[in-house]
Structure 1
Amino acid sequence: MTTTEIKQTLAGPAPRLDFAKAAPKAFRAVIGLDAAAREGLDPALVELVQIRSSHLNHCAYCLHMHTCDARRAGESEERLHMVAVWKEARHFFTEREQAALALTDAVTLIADGGLPDDVYARASAHFDDKELAHLLALIFTINTWNRIALATAKTAGEDERVS
């Protein structure tokens, strides 16, 4: 390996485009959807959903951001550690949170088997139509953010929202 190749390997991948600067209208549209999706939902639940989707999508950037947000909002370390294995650690989460996490799993991995009727029925038993629509929009949005972060090679721990 040459010295140049070693330097490139140590430096990591070349920076990719800044999506917010390159497509500001599209970026603002996602921000608008994100804000609208959160309306009426418990902020703690919002973070759990975003953390779970980020786990499933292997998005370290979003996972770091949303675990930090959850901690600032008072979420316990214990529950944050259990989100990745929520099915095996159900007692850490309310029935409503479990329904939201199951919906998050199904929608995030929708190509693997659609949205099963029992998962939808469970969610609709815990959320009224408006809440369910907002929850779905939240799941759509975090999946979009995950894809933006992954496609543009965002680095975990470099949250532009924090100065």
Structure 2
Amino acid sequence: MTTTAATEQTTTMARIDFARQAPQVFRAVIGLDAAARAGLDPALVELVQIRSSQLNHCAYCLHMHTTDARRAGESEERLHMTAVWREARHFFTEKEQAALALTEAVTLIADAGVPDGVYERAAAHFEEAELAQLIALILTINTWNRIALATGKVAGTDDRA
């Protein structure tokens, strides 16, 4: 089987319940998530989580965060345009664009690191403490994406309760 064929297979094997099998780690990630969000605009938080989840192909987290964003009053237009924000800049503020660019750079860090221009753009829109929070948020959603993907979480089965 080729690598491509292996990645296209549907998960049929039951996978671990991460929260149950690694409860201390799970609680630590929840704590990190709460700490990372502190002081950030909730709408921006959802946009960052949506963009990272798109890049990581995490349907579980993408469904969860688009649902949360809708409940918080986010427009359908902005949700649909998040994947193509560069071509739809007029839907997003300069600050949101800077955050989305940083989200892409950090999420895809192996591709080119975080270019100076991307970092400088974010630093121009976020005070240092807020920028640190934003970076922590990006790290956290990438962690959640990897947990969801590694454990075969199914989109639409939000189990945060």
Pair in the same fold by TM > 0.5: yes
Is the partner of 1:154 in helix, strand or coil?
Answer: coil
Amino acid at match of 2:98: A
Give 1:12 deviation, angstroms.
Answer: 5.3
What residue is the counterpart of 2:103 in the other structure? 104
What residue is the counterpart of 1:28 in the other structure? 27
Give 1:161 deviation, angstroms.
Answer: 2.1
CA distance in 2, matches of 1:14, 1:70: 31
Stretches of 4+ moved more than 3 A in 1? none
What residue is the counterpart of 1:53 in the other structure? 52
Query: Which whole-Å deviations, capped at 9, do the CAs of 1:69-120 have from their partners, x for residues lacking one?
Result: 0000000000000000001101000000000000000000000000000000
1:56-95 aligned within 5 A: 56-95=55-94
Q: Equivalent pairs: percent with the same residue? A: 78
Q: Is the 8 A contact 2:11 2:152 kept in 1?
A: no
CA distance in 2, matches of 1:28, 1:126: 31
When the two structures are superposed, what TM-score results if normalisation uses the length of structure 1? Answer: 0.92
1:106-121 aligned within 5 A: 106-121=105-120
CA distance in 2, matches of 1:18, 1:12: 15
CA distance in 2, matches of 1:134, 1:76: 24
Cα RMSD of the aligned pairs, angstroms, is 1.2
Amino acid at match of 1:63: L
What residue is the counterpart of 1:38 in the other structure? 37
Q: CA 1:71/1:155 → structure 2, altered by over 3 Å: closer, same or farther?
A: same
Q: Runs of 5+ in structure 1 lacking a partner?
A: 1-8
Amino acid at match of 2:131: L
CA distance in 1, matches of 2:11, 2:106: 32
1:122 equivalent in alignment to 2:115: no
When the two structures are superposed, what TM-score results if normalisation uses the length of structure 2? Answer: 0.93
